[in-house]
Amino acid sequence: MSPVTTGIIGIGVLIIMFLLRMPIAFAMALVGFAGFAYLSTPGAALGLLARDIFEQFSSYPLSVIPMFILMGSFAFAVGISRRLYDTAYTWVGQLRGGLTIATVLACAGFGAICGSSTATAATMGKIALPEMKRYNYDDTLATGTVAAAGTLGILIPPSTVLIVFGILTEESIGKLFIAGVFPGLLLSLLFALTVYFICLRNPTLGPSGAPTSWRKKAVALTGIIETLALFALAIGGLFAGLFSPTMAGAVGAAGALIIGLARRKLTWQTFFEAAKDGLQTSCMVLFILAGATVFGHFMAISRIPFELAEWLEGLPLPTMGIVGIIVFIFFIGGFFMDAMAMIVLLIPIFYPVLTALNVDLIWFGVIVVLVGEMGVITPPVGVNVFVIKGIAPDIPIEKIFKGIFPFLYALIICTIILMAFPQIATFLPGFASY
Amino acid sequence: MLVTNINVIGANLFHSPLRGTIDMVMLFQLIAVAFACSVTLIIGKHIRVEILVTKLPQCVQAITASIISLLTLGLFVLIIWRLCVLGYSFQTGGETTATAHIPIYPFAYGVAFASIPVCLVILHEFLSSLARVIKR
């Protein structure tokens, strides 16, 4: 059997393993190991398995992931997310759908200190959903908004998905982070406009709240100072070249703890709970990366990425057309995989094609994150939707999926705008020094 | 996190970075992640695709769960064995970290040891799903 045929069978077996509910990380390691053993020797594959796991777990570049995950966990534990939401509500609560717009803004704010979409959706869902229920907001709109706006967590820096993309493609994590700023703001605006227009057409879906005075609005602004300070410290330090990505994450996590101490919100219990949660999430991500490394070695020896690169390069299409095909494959993959899993599986396959075509990988990273965001809210594997279902168990899952569709259009529009105007993502990285 | 922050403060304020920071971060991460794996597995934090299996009859679900658990168990047994082999090669080769020169082999053995509870969790999953198959 030729290496390419073996590789294709390996991908098929991997998909079957996924569908049979094997954890994605273990499935990639197992299939990668078996495929590598078949194409080289069992001895070589056995050596590769242990070494890949050991090297990924002890990789210093990957230590950026636990650091930024800890920063988000600590920020939630010390109540920064709650204060962000209160500020947003004070400012936009009196608009139609004010609570949902406030949720979008708070998710954007929390995305600036948390790098995970599920963590952002879970954090804001716990705060915003009871409030929206209290003000008789439509369940479909409320849950759909939180699930969709939670995805801002992986676009607005810091972003675990962009970190992993940067590691896989050897691109600067600082540049990738900063590239996500304008697209993140654009998407937040599109989400807020989506909510506003939905409620303009049908005001009963999101009744307006009580108006607040300008004095109250001004006072409420203090609620975002901590977020701005943390963002400026971690991402600003990274952007200015003061810190490496790992240092930026560690400084941000320490900053969140100091805020908690200053506000007397940090207890030993909250500290341990947040640290435990952060460690478990980091373990999950690093295991996926270890599994993907083993699988990536199998893919490399099967020559599939190189054959695919040659085939795509030979297509009578302009570069943008080929990139469009690749983005479409990511879009389809997003229906069945989490954003992180999709990136670790597909990037090693398409990386040779993208480099051969001289595609700006910083821009492509942002596009992939946008497509990944669609994946985490669309059925059948909409991770954020499942998170929201966990927070609001009384709301049928079909209702939540129905609620995300207007936001899916916003995501598609944002992706098209970014494909037409790549400068939105590539402008800021030109100034980054790290 | 603590080690990195001490290094940042030392390097930026006192021009005296903490020697071996990178080595310590790498090794702490290795041990923390390896020992967190079994708990992560127990609480179901590892990402799985749920679309197909949940729609299958209970009996088929139990059979597929048994097969998957058995395959995963086999994978982890191989991982433990090879990590011990890797640790031994580090030990005999006298391999250490780049700057602090900390011997690496105890950490390879440590990760192998931390994988034993993972095997036990998977074995429990296997036996539970097997019991479900037999009951039906």
Q: Where are the domains of chain B?
A: 2-135
| Angstrom distance (rounded) from CA A210 to CA A213 | 10
> A67 to chain B nearest CA, in Å?
7
Which segment of A275-279, B114-118, B124-128 scores lowest on mean pLDDT? A275-279
Nearest CA in chain A to B32: A279
Q: How high is the pLDDT of residue A433?
A: 62
Structure tokens at B89: 């090669």
Query: How far apart, in whole angstroms, are the C-alpha atoms of residue A317 and residue A312?
Result: 9
B103 forms bridges with which residues in the sheet? B96
Residues in chain A closer than 8 A to B27 (CB atoms)? 58
Q: Under an 8 A CB cutoff, do B47 and A67 touch? A: no
Residues A169 and A365 sit within 8 Å (Cβ to Cβ): yes
pLDDT for res A417:
95
DSSP letters for B50-103: -TTGGGS-HHHHHHHHHHHHHHHHHHHHHHHHHHHHHHHHHHHHT-B-TTT--B
Question: Helices A3-19 and A268-302, interaxial angle, to 10°?
Answer: 150
Residue B45 has pLDDT above 80, yes or no: no
Q: How far is B92 from chain A (nearest CA, A)?
A: 16
CB atoms within 10 A of CB A395: 18
Q: What is the pLDDT of residue A390?
A: 75
Chain A nearest CA to B135, separation (Å): 21
Picking from B41, B47, B65, the nearest residue to A341 by CB comes out as: B47
Confidence band, pLDDT 50/70/90 cuts, at residue B92: very high
**Maximum alpha-carbon separation in chain B:** 69
DSSP state of A211: -
> How many whole angstroms separate alpha carbon A402 and alpha carbon A379?
10
Sign of the CA dihedral A198, A200, A202, A206?
positive
B105 pLDDT tier (thresholds 50, 70, 90)? very high
Which of B110, B50, B23 shows the shortest CA–CA distance to A336? B50
Could you tell me how many CB contacts below 8 A there are between chain A and chain B? 152
Q: Which residue of A has its CA nearest to B35?
A: A283
Burial class from Cβ neighbours inside 10 Å (0-12, 13-18, 19+) for residue A13 reads middle
What is the structure's pLDDT at A60?
A: 84
With 0.90 as the threshold, say if the pTM is over it. no
Identity at A274, one-letter amino acid code: A
Find the mean pLDDT for residues B78-95.
94
Gap between the Cα atoms of B99 and B8, Å rounded? 17
Contact assignment for A62 to B29 by CB distance below 8 Å: yes
Cβ-Cβ contacts under 8 Å, A30 against chain B: 71-72, 75
Tell me if A411 sits within 8 A of A370, measured CB to CB.
yes
With contact defined as beta carbons under 8 Å apart, do A188 and A410 qualify?
no
A22 is written with which tokens? Answer: 């094997």
* A22 chain-B contacts, CB cut-off 8 A: 48, 68, 71-72
b/e map of A113-135 (b: 16 or more CB within 10 Å)?
A: bbbbbbbbbbbbbebbbebbeee
Coil, strand or helix at A196: helix
Length of chain A: 434
Whether the CB-CB separation of A309 and A46 falls below 8 Å is answered with no
Is B36 an interface residue toward A (CB < 8 Å)? yes
In the prediction, which pLDDT does A314 show? 83
**If contacts are CB pairs under 8 Å, which of residues 5-24 in chain B contact chain A?**
5, 7-8, 12, 22
The complex scores an ipTM of 0.91
Please say whether the dihedral angle defined by the alpha carbons of residues A331, A336, A339 and A340, taken in this order, is positive or negative: negative
The confidence score (pLDDT) of residue A64 equals 82
Contacts of B48 in chain A (CB under 8 A): 18, 21-24
Residue of A nearest to B8 (CA): A247
pLDDT per residue of chain A (434 residues) written in tens, 0 to 9: 888 899 989 989 988 888 888 888 899 899 999 999 999 999 999 988 999 899 889 888 888 888 888 888 888 888 888 888 889 989 988 888 888 999 999 999 888 888 888 878 888 888 888 888 888 899 999 999 999 999 998 999 888 899 989 988 989 988 999 999 999 999 999 999 999 999 989 988 988 878 888 899 899 888 888 888 888 888 888 877 788 888 888 898 999 999 999 988 888 999 999 899 888 888 888 888 888 888 888 888 888 888 887 888 788 889 889 999 999 988 888 876 778 778 888 888 888 889 988 999 999 999 999 998 998 888 766 778 877 887 787 888 788 889 999 999 999 999 999 999 999 999 988 876 65
Mean pLDDT, chain B, whole residue set? 87
pLDDT at A312: 83
Which neighbouring-strand residues pair with B96?
B103
Task: Tell which B residues from 49 to 68 touch A, by Cβ distance under 8 Å.
Answer: 49-53, 64-65, 67-68
Q: What pLDDT, on a 0 to 100 scale, did the predictor assign at position B117?
A: 92
